[in-house]
Chains A and B, each alone.
Chain A
Amino acid sequence: MPSIRDRQFDWKLATKFMHGYELVAQQPEDGTSKYRTGLGTGTPVLATHNSLSALGGIQIDTAGADATGDEIHWMMPVPYDMDIKHPLRIRVHWTSGSATAADDVAFVAIYTAIVPHSTTIVAAATALDTVIPSDLVTGAHKYQITGWGVLNGGTFVNGGAIIWEIRCSVADVNLATEYLRVLGVEFAYTPHLTAGSGQSTTRTTYDPGY
């Protein structure tokens, strides 16, 4: 019986969602304050949304350049089922209390690719090949999703890891009174689920557009 491999499937993009709590969960707990201490500039921590009991997000108190704005740092393995020839996308899920529909909010993601048994683990330092597009507030405490930022294929090795940092570079939202919170980040990539070499380099994986 012939075995079916990736190239015979019309895979759509695979995704991985990391909740806000997962992004800070690699941070040690603070033996004094009971909060996780935070690993990046500003050491942002989880906060309950204003009057919203259903979820917490990572509260951004300061927007700005690297080492100025609040930073969220975390590590993740290169997805085992990712076809590394193809791009890795990243986008940010966020909300704010702003009701000003013209308020601009921009997130920046940077990364460092880690090769096992070779690369010293260091903080994220490299810009995406396509940066995350700036977003606009659509209403107070709406569930908002940025457009995708993109890392081109061939950036990672199988079995490797990625060090990430995201921060808010621009926020028209009043961070002291309206609040801005990161609910999570999401990745999308071409899956490689079978033996064989995965999808061809010239074949774009189906993007369902959401």
Chain B
Amino acid sequence: MPAIQDRQVDWKLKNKFMFAYELIAQQPENTSSKYRAGLGTGAPVLATCNSLSALGGLQIDAAGADGAGDEIHWMMPVPYDMDTKHPLKIRVIWTSGSSTVADDVAFVAIYTAIVPHSTTIVTAATALDTLIPSDLVTGAFQYQLTGWGVVEGSKFTAGGTITWEIRCSVADVDLSGELLYVLGVEFAYTPKMTAGPGHGPSRPAFDPGY
């Protein structure tokens, strides 16, 4: 029986979800305050979402430009099962106490592609090829997903890694009274699950639209 390879399979996008706690878990624990110290500007830490006993999120106290708004920094390997010819998508999962449905919330993600044994590990510096679209509050403490931001294909090396930074650049939400939390980030990419060259360059995996 001939062996099946990626090009014969109509893969849908593969996904990786990183919880808020994973985004800050690379930060050292702070021996005086006992909180993780936080690595980016503002050093956001995990906080219980207002009156929600089920989960905590990274509380954003300040929105703004790079070096001004609260920043969340982390590193992750290029997914081992990612076809690096194809794009990597990223979106932010968030919630807030605002019930003003016109409130605008915009997240910015930047990254640095790290080539193993070559690139010095540095903080994220490069903008996405397609920015994460601005989002609108849909109701107080709803589970909200931004649209996808995109890094085009061939930006990463298989076996390499990525340093990331996200921050909130615009928030109509009252950050001190209504509160804004990042619950996690999610990635989507074309999988490469078999031997062979993976899907053709013009054939990314099927996007199910969610």
- Chain A positions within 8 Å of B, measured between CB atoms, are 1-5, 22, 25-34, 37, 39-40, 73-75, 77, 80-81, 112, 114-124, 158-161, 163-165, 192-196
B20, CB-defined interface residue at 8 Å: yes
B160, CB-defined interface residue at 8 Å: no
B117, CB-defined interface residue at 8 Å: no
A26 close to B141 (CB less than 8 A)? no
> Given A28-B56, A39-B54 in contact, is the A195-B10 Cβ separation under 8 Å?
yes
Fill in one digit per residue for B23-50: 1 if any A CB lies within 8 Å of its CB, else 0.
0010001000111100000000111110
**A120–B138 alpha-carbon span in the complex (Å):** 10
Stretch at the interface among B1-9, B124-132, B169-177: B1-9
Chain B contacts of A3 at CB under 8 A?
Answer: 8-10
Chain A contacts of B184 at CB under 8 A?
Answer: 77
Chain B contacts of A194 at CB under 8 A?
Answer: 9-12, 206
Q: What 6 A-B pairs are tightest by C-beta distance, nearest first?
A: A80-B15, A195-B206, A3-B10, A159-B210, A25-B21, A158-B210
Chain A contacts of B118 at CB under 8 A?
Answer: none
Stretch at the interface among B72-80, B105-113, B142-150: B142-150
> Given A26-B20, A32-B34, A77-B17 in contact, is the A163-B55 Cβ separation under 8 Å?
yes
Chain B contacts of A27 at CB under 8 A?
Answer: 46, 48, 56
Q: Which of B15, B55, B138 contacts A117 (CB 8 A)?
A: B138
**A126–B143 alpha-carbon span in the complex (Å):** 18
A77 to chain B, nearest CB (A): 5
Q: Besides A80-B13, A121-B55, 20 other CB < 8 A contacts?
A: A3-B8, A4-B8, A4-B9, A22-B19, A28-B48, A31-B33, A31-B35, A75-B55, A77-B184, A80-B15, A80-B17, A80-B188, A116-B143, A116-B144, A116-B145, A117-B142, A124-B54, A164-B54, A165-B54, A192-B12
Chain A contacts of B46 at CB under 8 A?
Answer: 26-29
**A158–B8 alpha-carbon span in the complex (Å):** 25
Number of A-B contacts (CB under 8 A): 135
CB closest chain-B residue, reference A195:
B206
B161 to chain A, nearest CB (A): 22
Q: Give residues 167-204 of B contacting A (CB, 8 Å).
A: 183-184, 186, 188, 191
Chain B contacts of A77 at CB under 8 A?
Answer: 17, 93, 184, 186
Chain B contacts of A32 at CB under 8 A?
Answer: 34
B67, CB-defined interface residue at 8 Å: no
B34 close to A34 (CB less than 8 A)? yes
A195 close to B12 (CB less than 8 A)? yes
B179 to chain A, nearest CB (A): 13
B138 close to A118 (CB less than 8 A)? yes
A40 close to B53 (CB less than 8 A)? yes
B53 close to A39 (CB less than 8 A)? yes
A-B contact pairs, 15 of them (CB 8 A): A27-B48, A34-B34, A37-B48, A74-B54, A77-B93, A77-B184, A116-B145, A120-B140, A121-B95, A122-B52, A122-B54, A124-B54, A158-B210, A194-B10, A194-B12
